[in-house]
Amino acid sequence: MAPPAAVSSSPPAMTPSPGRCKPCTPSTTSTNCALKMHGYCSRNRSQPYVASSDDMEEVQIDGTLKDIGMEIIEKCGGLPLAVKVMGGLLCRREKRRADWEQVLQDFIRDEAFVVSTLDERGKGALKTQKFLRLSIETNDLQSNDEFEWRLIQGQGSLRTLIVIGELKINHGDSLINFSRLRILHIEDANCTAFSLVGSLHQLKHLRYIFLECNDIARQLQNIGKLKLLQYLEIISENLVRLPNSIVKLGQLRHLELLGTSISGIPRGFCGLTNLRYLYGFPAQADGGWCSLQELGPHAQLRELKLSNLENVPAISLAAKARLSEKSHLSYLRLDCSNRLGEDGLVEDEEGVSEEEQRRIEEVFDELTPPLCVENIEICGYFGEQLPRWMVSRATGAYERLMIVMIKNLACCTQLPDGLCWLPSLQYFEVTRAPAIKRVGPEFVTMHASSIQLQHAHPFRRLKEMRLIKMVEWEEWEWDQQITTVQAMPELGELRLKSCKLRHLPPGLSSQATALTSMCLTDFQQLNSIDNFASLVKLELQDNPDLERVTSLPKLQKLIIVGCPKMRALEGVPELRRLELKDYDMEQLPRYLQQSVSLVHLVLDCTLELLTSIALGESGPDWGKLSHIQHVKAYADQEDDERKWHMLYTREPYNFEINIGDNSSSSTGGKSA
């Protein structure tokens, strides 16, 4: 994970090649030496020379310095500029072994070193070279290999340390040796990594910290001593409260707590007014105090995610967050604890009480976003009515709002009818809303004067819409005659999943004239799809009652998975590619014979059907696909996907099979 832009000292990208170093970048001081230097090179592999910068005379080096000189050359990677730089530096030193050893010891490569294997070359580089940036990735190591922390203890000049995977950490290992460290990233480390974290507060120059490890609460108590820290992200399920000292991090720009169990925020958090990005901030009440009021002074916030909003006891406390005043906020997420089970229905048999619904509605009404917001997510909301700022005409004032995502609506009975006014909305998603049974015309209707309507279209910029797992949704009313102006004129992609709709509304096919891609999944009662004039790609999955796809004049790609009653495919003159997956199918569908425009057919079926197809002209299904230019048919064998295949090309003729012990290929003639 690369440090964000908020960290002013972020390094260049890490070199991905394990065990290798990029060419060194000389420092300013060394470059000045190089300008006075003609050259330093190994004239031959047996005798190093140094050319003096004053009189340009060659000075032969004592044989006792030969081994050190060759090590320095090796560190330079043989690059002429690097060799010149080091040669200039050596010319200024006495020709004594101690002085040259000091040069070798202090030689720092200003590039990254990536360790992902435990070969001797990698270990040797860590012992003999020094780096400013070091990445250790142990996930791909063999089970009997261990990377020991002691191997990097000598890298005292590090500015960046990235550890991904498990390390062998012994008692007494710490971060103290890395006093110059600016960036520390420990990810997926074993739980013993907390012994390292205990020395964090001694790294006074740290700007960036990412920690993923357990049992670190006590080790973070002194984090307030890191006065220069700008970025802090913690993933630790055992961390339930932020240390009080965090309020001393006056330079903090980015705080991310999404991977923790934090439920409490220390008082005084309001002093961190340099925060730009804050994720996982929990709502917590204590008497007349609420953690949301600590957000009031945070005027510089760009992105904000609030959680546990069901804990806010009164609307007056929600108002103290002053969200509407945050003039730089572009992303806002408002979360409550989820009330839905895996089946998409409310888990509690008693449901959500009217008092709980009323209180959360009032709280969300007060958490009004600023007009500059561009992206809003709501998750776990359990009010019956959506917030006022989402269901009124005033919603149109959010001229920059481009993305709206709503998830896990336990009690809401309708979609927000104010979104159609949004002039910039491009993406809209609802996932899991079991109380919605009907979507009426108000969803796409703008009630305004005739003059206003001449220049307005409902959802005029909407490009993509997803309505997912609205498991009780039975009716979608949208008739062309109901709305006097075209709705969703730019909608290009539509995804609908897991509902009880019997048919799609005529207004969708007649008004969404830019719709080119549609995916319909788990429609239990949908019988047919027809009359979408602009559709280019259609994906159909697990629709048990679907029988007909007709009148799609521009359709080019069709994917059918688990639609056993599918019988008719008509009015698709541009269809070029069909992907068909059905493991209950005993024979190929007849509509394949009628698909004269089809160029590519990809078929996943049972081994029995594949064997029948592989018989070629002598088989009962060959006439249904022999006219198709390219056919690829596959069958699985238990967990081995697509183990068996039949590949066919009509012109130039090619026929290939590998079924069981029968493997053959023929070209240029006719199939057997």
Q: Which of 59, 90, 109 is the last residue of a domain?
A: 109
pLDDT over threshold 80, residue 328: yes
Strand-pair partners of 164: 137, 187
Domain annotation covers residue 177: no
pLDDT over threshold 50, residue 45: no
Domain annotation covers residue 71: yes
pTM (predicted TM-score): 0.79
Residue 52: give the domain boundaries: 28-109
Domain annotation covers residue 190: no
Rounded distance between C-alpha atoms, residue 276 and residue 329, angstroms: 9
Rounded distance between C-alpha atoms, residue 494 and residue 471, angstroms: 17
For residue 264, give both structure tokens.
């409490």
What is the secondary structure of 31-78 as a DSSP string?
Answer: HHHHHT---EEEEETTEEEEE-TTT--EEEPPGGGHHHHHHHHHHTTT
Domain annotation covers residue 460: no
User: Residue 59 burial by CB count (10 A; 0-12/13-18/19+): exposed, middle or buried?
Assistant: exposed
The predicted pLDDT at position 239 comes to: 86
CB 478 within 8 A of CB 444: yes
pLDDT over threshold 50, residue 59: no
CB 469 within 8 A of CB 495: no
Chain-wide mean pLDDT for the chain?
82
Rounded distance between C-alpha atoms, residue 67 and residue 79, angstroms: 18
Is 396 in a helix, a strand, or coil?
Answer: helix
Identify the band that residue 351 occupies on the pLDDT scale cut at 50, 70 and 90: confident
Amino acid symbol at 323: L
Per-residue pLDDT tens digits for 288-306: 788 999 999 999 999 999 9
∠ Cα 308 314 320 (to 5°): 85
* Whether the bond into 11 is cis, omega within 30 of 0: no
Of 255, 171, 146, which Cα lies nearest the Cα of 209? 255
Average pLDDT over residues 32-44: 32
Most confident of 25-34, 230-239, 298-307, 389-398: 298-307
**What single DSSP character describes residue 277?**
E
Q: Which of 86, 109, 132 is the last residue of a domain?
A: 109
Query: Which of 119 and 361 is assigned the larger pLDDT?
Result: 361
Rounded distance between C-alpha atoms, residue 278 and residue 321, angstroms: 13
Rounded distance between C-alpha atoms, residue 77 and residue 83, angstroms: 8
The predicted pLDDT at position 627 comes to: 94
The total of other beta-carbon atoms located within 10 Å of residue 70's CB is 14
The predicted pLDDT at position 20 comes to: 32
The predicted pLDDT at position 1 comes to: 44
The region of weakest confidence among 44-53, 83-92, 235-244, 557-566 is 44-53
Identify the band that residue 53 occupies on the pLDDT scale cut at 50, 70 and 90: very low
Average pLDDT over residues 461-474: 97
Domain annotation covers residue 309: no
Rounded distance between C-alpha atoms, residue 307 and residue 280, angstroms: 6
Average pLDDT over residues 358-383: 96
Report the helix count and the strand count for the chain, using DSSP H and E. 13, 34
Domain annotation covers residue 175: no
Q: Which of 55, 79, 109 is the last residue of a domain?
A: 109
Task: Give 291-296 contacts, CB < 8 A, sequence gap 24+.
Answer: 291/264, 291/265, 292/317, 292/318, 292/320, 292/321, 293/317, 293/320, 293/321, 294/265, 294/267, 294/268, 294/269, 294/270, 295/270, 295/320, 295/321, 295/322, 295/323, 296/270, 296/320, 296/321, 296/322
Number of domains in the chain: 2
Rounded distance between C-alpha atoms, residue 26 and residue 31, angstroms: 6
Residue 52 CB contacts under 8 Å (≥ 6 apart), including other chains: 58, 59, 91
Per-residue pLDDT tens digits for 143-198: 545 677 778 888 888 888 888 877 777 777 788 888 899 999 888 655 555 566 66
pLDDT over threshold 80, residue 21: no
Of all residues in the chain, what percent carry a pLDDT higher than 70?
Answer: 79
Per-residue pLDDT tens digits for 550-600: 999 999 999 999 999 999 999 999 999 999 999 999 999 999 988 878 999
Average pLDDT over residues 352-356: 91
